[in-house]
Chain A
């Protein structure tokens, strides 16, 4: 895939909506397209946090494994983000991620993305602000699931 079409995919992804063109150019230089087949484990819980992904198509399950069973916490799909823990130094993956169907994503090496953020505070602030939105939404959704509101009606 050419960096031009990668750049287009980046510009179309909601996570990067409104990013200045020069920021998108920088991101295009460090990202690559990655595909996962159905049932492929993208990463396992407690793996060193390597990559951050912007999902283009397909569905990913976030799971916690326990002896004899797998608990699915959430599913995420096109236009969403995967692997935010890669933005933390020495981070470890919080969940196991598994492709539920063929997945196409844009992958960013966490270390390189962090370096870009540190080199340009404006860029870094924008990225972290968007990531905070992702983490906040996931936290809120998890709280709602814990409340078990649907069964209480």
Chain B
């Protein structure tokens, strides 16, 4: 593999599986020599002739030879990505960026708060915690989706929730009559969780508005700001801090993020234009 961070390496697509009506998981063979990824990092995926996009790695860090990406088909490049056939090649750069603070969470409980496709970058963190379950106290996963048909990883969520010391709660914004679970935004689930904020690390990923309100709620419940981490999404182009497209205040999201401790972003989350 090239050592030039700007040059994609060709990765063979192994499989494409449907997660829900518009979201797919792609599994690629990691290009030879690629650095193993850490939970929370992303790659730049390049569809030849279509374009390049930052996509979070959503697979198991224990198997760095296989790179999994969960992609929602919402535009021309993502459409091209999810309609590739196994055996085709996709350009990959990375892994890039910072990771979830799993080391700092050792000995503590972990609260995962995800909205929509924001669960994808958090899944590797869950895999890591489950693999070293004894290193952590409670694992609580709160997941909000638009509707039951928009939910990701339903079987895995259910399996995670069955494990000892785990709690998984899901909610939807719009539930049909057949949906027996909660209806409401993800922050409404906080009431159902009993955690010691000082001994819990919260990891958030989802729409920024959702994260902003979730953070307000967590702070009101006594979470120290430094115990809250979040993953940001910006218009990442070079992924190496050269181009400045993803600048957020003094930070380059591609290089200094995408995972930030909340205190680093506190001043910038409520700003209209940055």
Tally A residues with Cβ within 8 Å of B.
26
B176 on interface, CB distance cutoff 8 Å? yes
A151 on interface, CB distance cutoff 8 Å? yes
A145 to B144, CA, bound (A): 11
- Out of B117, B150, B173, B177, name the residue touching A70 (CB < 8 Å): B177
Nearest B residue to A69 via CB reads B177
Residues in chain B near residue A71, CB distance under 8 A: 174
B1 on interface, CB distance cutoff 8 Å? no
Q: Using a CB-CB cutoff of 8 Å, which residues 55-93 of chain B contact chain A? A: none
- Out of B175, B179, B209, name the residue touching A147 (CB < 8 Å): B209
B213 on interface, CB distance cutoff 8 Å? yes
A144-B185, A145-B185, A153-B233 known; A79-B176 Cβ under 8 A: no
Residues in chain B near residue A72, CB distance under 8 A: 174-177, 179, 183
Q: How far is the CB of A143 from chain B (nearest CB, A)?
A: 9
Nearest B residue to A79 via CB reads B191
A141 contacts B146, C-beta separation under 8 Å: no
B150 contacts A151, C-beta separation under 8 Å: yes
Q: How far is the CB of A50 from chain B (nearest CB, A)?
A: 24
B206 on interface, CB distance cutoff 8 Å? yes
B207 contacts A152, C-beta separation under 8 Å: yes
Q: Using a CB-CB cutoff of 8 Å, which residues 194-217 of chain B contact chain A? A: 206-207, 209-210, 213
A85 on interface, CB distance cutoff 8 Å? no
- Out of A69, A80, A101, A150, name the residue touching B173 (CB < 8 Å): A150
Chain A CB count within 10 A is highest, among B144, B150, B175, for B175
B182 contacts A150, C-beta separation under 8 Å: no
A49 on interface, CB distance cutoff 8 Å? no
Nearest B residue to A61 via CB reads B183
B188 contacts A150, C-beta separation under 8 Å: no
Residues in chain B near residue A70, CB distance under 8 A: 177
B132 on interface, CB distance cutoff 8 Å? no
Chain B CB count within 10 A is highest, among A73, A100, A141, A151, for A151
B180 on interface, CB distance cutoff 8 Å? yes
Q: Looking at chain B, what size class is its interface with the partner chain?
A: 20 to 34
A contact face: mostly helix, strand, loop, or mixed: mixed
Q: How far is the CB of A109 from chain B (nearest CB, A)?
A: 26
Q: How far is the CB of A71 from chain B (nearest CB, A)?
A: 8
Q: How far is the CB of A141 from chain B (nearest CB, A)?
A: 5
A59 on interface, CB distance cutoff 8 Å? yes
A72-B179, A79-B191, A144-B210 known; A153-B185 Cβ under 8 A: no
B53 on interface, CB distance cutoff 8 Å? no
B181 on interface, CB distance cutoff 8 Å? yes
B192 on interface, CB distance cutoff 8 Å? yes
A26 on interface, CB distance cutoff 8 Å? no
Spell out A's residues near B (CB within 8 Å). 59, 61, 69-75, 77-80, 100-101, 140-141, 144-145, 147-153
Spell out B's residues near A (CB within 8 Å). 115-118, 144-146, 150, 171, 173-177, 179-185, 187-188, 191-192, 206-207, 209-210, 213, 233
**Given A150-B144, A151-B116, 17 additional A-B pairs, CB 8 A:** A61-B183, A69-B177, A72-B175, A72-B183, A75-B182, A77-B182, A101-B180, A144-B185, A148-B173, A149-B115, A150-B116, A150-B206, A152-B207, A153-B117, A153-B118, A153-B206, A153-B233
Q: Would you mind naming 20 contact pairs between A and B with Cβ atoms under 8 Å apart?
A: A72-B175, A72-B179, A74-B184, A78-B192, A79-B191, A80-B191, A100-B180, A141-B184, A144-B185, A144-B213, A145-B185, A150-B115, A150-B144, A150-B173, A150-B207, A151-B150, A153-B116, A153-B117, A153-B206, A153-B207
